[in-house]
Structure 1
Amino acid sequence: MKKLPVGISTLKEIIEEGHAYVDKSKFVHNLSERGKYYFLSRPRRFGKSLFIDTLKAAFEADKDLFRGLWLYDNWDWEKRYPVIHISFAEGVLKSRDELDRKIFELIEGHQKRLGVQCRYKDSVSGCFSDLIQRSSEKYALRAVILIDEYDKPILDNIVNPKIAEEMREGLNNLYSVIKGQDANLCFVFLTGVSKFSKVSLFSGLNNLTDITLDAEYSAICGYTEPEMVSVFSERLENKSLEDIRKWYNGYAWLGEKVYNPFSILHYLRAGKFRNYWFETGTPTFLINLLQKNQYYIPDIENIEASETLIGAFDIDFIRPENLLFQAGYLTIAHDRRVAGKIFYKLQYPNMEVKASLSDYILNRYSHDTVLKERTQLRIYQAFQDADPDSLHKIFQSLFSAIPHDWYRKNKLSAYEGYYASVFYCYFTALGLDVTAEDTTSHGRIDMTVKIDNRAYIFEFKVVDIDKTPGTALGQIKQKGYAEKYRAGMAEIYLIGVEFDRDERNIVTFEWEQLQASQ
């Protein structure tokens, strides 16, 4: 049984140390044959660095590493190209001066490795341009440029727009060289987490082919299910593929769905379902943005955004939708064309992301972590016991326990979506089967929770805002929301919850139980 390549991003180590490898080398061939300038955006810890290293090994003609892989018999191994590999993955740069010094260090390393000497010692753009030209001349082959984590210096400073702008200018100074060196370049590939606008970051480099949403390259990073089952078959014995799929599969960029490689490798090593990927990064900036925009959290499941919106990202234009998508918290469910524009339906890729993000958001809404965890256990038990009255008591107590001062600081009493968002986050953080804005032939249910062949249908109202006549429970009954679940569930619970902003709590909690046959 081959070792798991947990945390390894170099092809040489994976192959020579006997680790399992999911062969992505055919993509190397396809890219090199069909174009020259490429850009790819993928979430963190998704295998971008390993693919960059695979490109590097191929262009440097390291043939032995590809023995047994698709590319071995489909590549010209006689040509050894000068490869300039720039990565901003290591460290955190906090100023333009630090960025320029880092770039000079990287360029100097390539000068020594390629055996060339740059003439321009005080100019980032001049030195980089000289490196490309002299490498091409020495090797009598046009150079290859591979840039990994191209956007990290900006993202590391995104909470400080002034520094982020300085980083953007510094990177633009570097990347703008590429277009001018076209005659000396054979292949260029840039990758990172975000997709910044070409105008702001790639001034002059307008010939990049963006393969982020190209169905043909959807599986360039990550594992398809056939790949996972084939490569890790021995480790998957006696494991539920359905559960693994639910937890870690589901990422899609208009093509075949893929598993998160970081999470699946950790799961195969530990044998336990955990939030491996989510634990490697804290989305503080995202949570601040959601709170600033008073985002109705259940709506995260029902975002439909234009191609422009999910593709547009800049220091002065950051929306929750594009950040959620580009950072990997949402993926594409499907697309549709409307009057010449493409719109994408976004959704959580899997249970790991949905539960983890909800739990993280809940930390912001909850003033007491210990209370939050105790509440989660009590909520789960209430569902297990089919006891809506306990849910009422739990949430009544929860809202009562939030100090007045905490409301004042966060202005949550003025946020009408806050109350329903708290319900939603508690339910999804537990990993329950929750559907927000649940579509029926009669309208949309605010929230449905399914557990143990029972469906709980929730309708929420803020009484001093929602002027719709009747009660929340009455609306469930009037709209016939239960019809959707009569055939598939043994029991159905209709729950109407009404809030008052002045009271900052639940003022009405009514419920009825229906049998599926009723």
Structure 2
Amino acid sequence: MDFVTLQVINRPKEETDMMQQRLYPIGIQTFSEIREKNYLYIDKTGYVYRIAHFDSKYVFLSRPRRFGKSLLTSTFHSYFEGRKELFEGLAIDKLEKEWIPYPVLHFDMSMAKHMDEKRLKQMLDYMLSEYERKYDCGIADADANVRLANLIKRAFEQTNRQVVVLIDEYDAPLLDVIHEEKNLPTLRNVMRNFYSPLKACDPYLRFVFLTGITKFSQLSIFSELNNIKNISMDEPYAALCGISEEEMQTQMSDDLDLLADKLKVTRDEIIGKLKENYDGYHFTWPSPDLYNPFSLLNAFADGKMNSYWFGSGTPTYLIEMLNKYGVAPQQIGGQKVFATAFDAPTEQMTNITPLLYQSGYITIKDYDARLDLYTLNIPNKEVRLGLMESLLPHYVPPTETERAATLTAYLFDSIDRGNMNEALQLLQTFLSTIPQCDNTDYEGHYQSLLYVIFSLLGFYVDVEVRTPRGRVDVVLRTHSTLYVIELKLDKTADAAMQQIDLKNYPERFALCGLPVVKVGINFDSERKTLGEWKIEGQ
């Protein structure tokens, strides 16, 4: 799709004509194309100038996929080539006075995904050959590191200017094998060999910028290059990628009005919907709220809310790693940790937290400066629903996913009307008529199942909620009711209800402003479904 424009409804003709010129850069990551074809561009060039002039010569930035890393790298490319005409009217236009063109070597490592050692080396050969022809190096019969070193020196000699090296998605060749003990070291050695000249070529380099999703240790990837400045959690660059609330309400103000008109809601209501679905990212603290740019632009372009970021692809390595570490759905997010627990080299991690954080499935939600503890959680509704949909096959066979989707619609209708009894009847029938997955003989399986299903309904759901006298298995909150749910396996619904009463769980939620309904459920391990339940207060 080259471009998409938002349908205009009930606008004066002159305003309509102007707004129809708004082009959204869906999938376009080249700065020059965005500027030359008048696509919407959220101005990040003030950050570009600061990084290029006031920070280390070697800079690394980690952000989740589709968060603007490639566009940022392309912006550096145009800037260091001295293409002043592309930056007219942007923040950097008032900052830069010289516009000196430098030779730029730009390597997009996303081209090297899903490759074995042989094909990865062939791709590096292809990338190097293109620049070797440009700078008349010849195609050397040598390893990639020798060729890169020769290329940097040759570009320096030909132009009499230091060289800029941009490496976008440096970790892309490694992500799909991150869980493989055999292939990861092999591909990691190939990339370490390729990057190894960067320190030795320091006199010939003006600037080196690397982006990625995960944070591999300098020892394993960059060898002796120990002077890389990681700006991923630096407060001045909190809004470097993504779209802030202020940027959306100023640079996309007309877009908000158009979307509100299309969906027949107020401007404040559309901001609330966008915030619920796509906002909530923080990569340091304090930080402005950041929207996922890919999802936000798609929502404006399509004129509706949809699962854009998660729908664009759930990396297989994520599901593999969740399985490897035995992470239940309800264990994703909701923890307080030190920065070293999530801003950590991926290959040294002992739990799933660094990968979930660096991939964008959990984000910083709060920070306690006194204890130096960060609160991590799922950023927004889009990510929560996407995660639960991806994990549903662990509880429902793939052949039944379509029926499961239909079930969630009926469950939502029943619970939204306040009829929990009807909802549990639907769930009992569904579970009793499908082939069973493994591990259905312990209570935690059914707790996870309810968590996934209730999350897919879009309601607030939490598990193991602390009270003064114990922990509630499941808490479900709708717009009109708060359900306190206790689960048992191969016991009775009365036993579940007695525990609720004995420990007086509803007392914990007396001030929530909603009527509290108690639900005791007993699961039958032999029938693999709900056995009986008891509801009080509905």
Tell me how far apart the structure 2 counterparts of residues 281 and 116 of structure 1 sit (CA, whole Å). 40
Matches within 5 A, 1:299-448: 299-315=331-347, 317=349, 319-336=351-368, 342-367=372-397, 368-403=400-435, 406-407=436-437, 410=438, 412-440=439-467, 443-448=470-475
Matches within 5 A, 1:100-499: 100-113=121-134, 115-117=135-137, 120-158=140-178, 160-237=180-257, 238=260, 239=267, 240-254=270-284, 255-315=287-347, 317=349, 319-336=351-368, 342-367=372-397, 368-403=400-435, 406-407=436-437, 410=438, 412-440=439-467, 443-462=470-489, 471-499=495-523
Query: 1:482: how far off?
Result: 2.5
8 Å CA contact 1:267, 1:273 repeated in 2: yes
Query: 1:188: how far off?
Result: 1.0
Query: 1:201: how far off?
Result: 1.4
CA spacing shift, 1:498–1:322, aligned 2, 3 Å? farther
Query: 1:429: how far off?
Result: 1.3
Alignment counterpart, residue 40 of structure 1, candidates 61, 66, 71:
61
Deviation sequence 1:27-83 (CA, Å, 0-9, x none): 111112122111111111111000001111111111011101010121243411111
Tell me how far apart the structure 2 counterparts of residues 401 and 325 of structure 1 sit (CA, whole Å). 37
Letter of the 1:247 partner, please give it: N
CA spacing shift, 1:132–1:325, aligned 2, 3 Å? same
Quick one: percent identity of the two aligned structures?
Answer: 32
Query: 1:147: how far off?
Result: 0.4
Tell me how far apart the structure 2 counterparts of residues 207 and 443 of structure 1 sit (CA, whole Å). 50
8 Å CA contact 1:263, 1:275 repeated in 2: yes
Number of corresponding residues: 503
Deviation sequence 1:129-148 (CA, Å, 0-9, x none): 11112222322222111100
8 Å CA contact 2:486, 2:496 repeated in 1: yes
8 Å CA contact 1:42, 1:48 repeated in 2: yes
Letter of the 2:57 partner, please give it: K
Tell me how far apart the structure 1 counterparts of residues 158 and 517 of structure 2 sit (CA, whole Å). 75
Tell me how far apart the structure 2 counterparts of residues 126 and 120 of structure 1 sit (CA, whole Å). 9
Letter of the 1:151 partner, please give it: D
Query: 1:173: how far off?
Result: 0.4
Deviation sequence 1:343-373 (CA, Å, 0-9, x none): 4321111000001111121133212112202
SS of structure 2 residue aligned to 1:102: helix
8 Å CA contact 2:66, 2:309 repeated in 1: yes
8 Å CA contact 1:6, 1:266 repeated in 2: yes
8 Å CA contact 1:357, 1:429 repeated in 2: no
Query: 1:91: how far off?
Result: 5.4
8 Å CA contact 2:176, 2:316 repeated in 1: no
8 Å CA contact 2:522, 2:533 repeated in 1: yes
Tell me how far apart the structure 1 counterparts of residues 442 and 216 of structure 2 sit (CA, whole Å). 31
Tell me how far apart the structure 2 counterparts of residues 335 and 488 of structure 1 sit (CA, whole Å). 25
Query: 1:383: how far off?
Result: 0.6
Deviation sequence 1:466-494 (CA, Å, 0-9, x none): 9xxx9333333344433454444342211
8 Å CA contact 1:500, 1:507 repeated in 2: yes
SS of structure 1 residue aligned to 2:519: strand
Calculate the aligned-residue CA RMSD, in Å: 2.5
More moved, 316-325 vs 62-71: 316-325
Alignment counterpart, residue 107 of structure 2, candidates 58, 67, 86:
86
CA spacing shift, 1:78–1:296, aligned 2, 3 Å? closer
Residue 88 of structure 2: aligned partner: 67
8 Å CA contact 1:172, 1:202 repeated in 2: yes
8 Å CA contact 2:177, 2:317 repeated in 1: no
Tell me how far apart the structure 2 counterparts of residues 162 and 507 of structure 1 sit (CA, whole Å). 46
Deviation sequence 1:236-283 (CA, Å, 0-9, x none): 112510111000001111122210000001100111111001011124
More moved, 365-374 vs 440-449: 440-449
CA spacing shift, 1:471–1:156, aligned 2, 3 Å? same
Query: 1:118: how far off?
Result: 5.7
Deviation sequence 1:145-183 (CA, Å, 0-9, x none): 110010111113345442332211110001121111112
More moved, 505-514 vs 275-284: 505-514
Letter of the 1:390 partner, please give it: E
1:10 partnered with 2:10? no
Letter of the 2:145 partner, please give it: S
More moved, 353-362 vs 435-444: 435-444
CA spacing shift, 1:439–1:271, aligned 2, 3 Å? farther
For normalisation by structure 1, the TM-score amounts to: 0.90
Uncovered stretches (5+) of structure 2, i.e. residues with no partner: 1-18, 261-266
Tell me how far apart the structure 1 counterparts of residues 344 and 189 of structure 2 sit (CA, whole Å). 18
8 Å CA contact 2:83, 2:99 repeated in 1: no
Deviation sequence 1:223-248 (CA, Å, 0-9, x none): 00110111221121125101110000
Residue 8 of structure 2: aligned partner: none
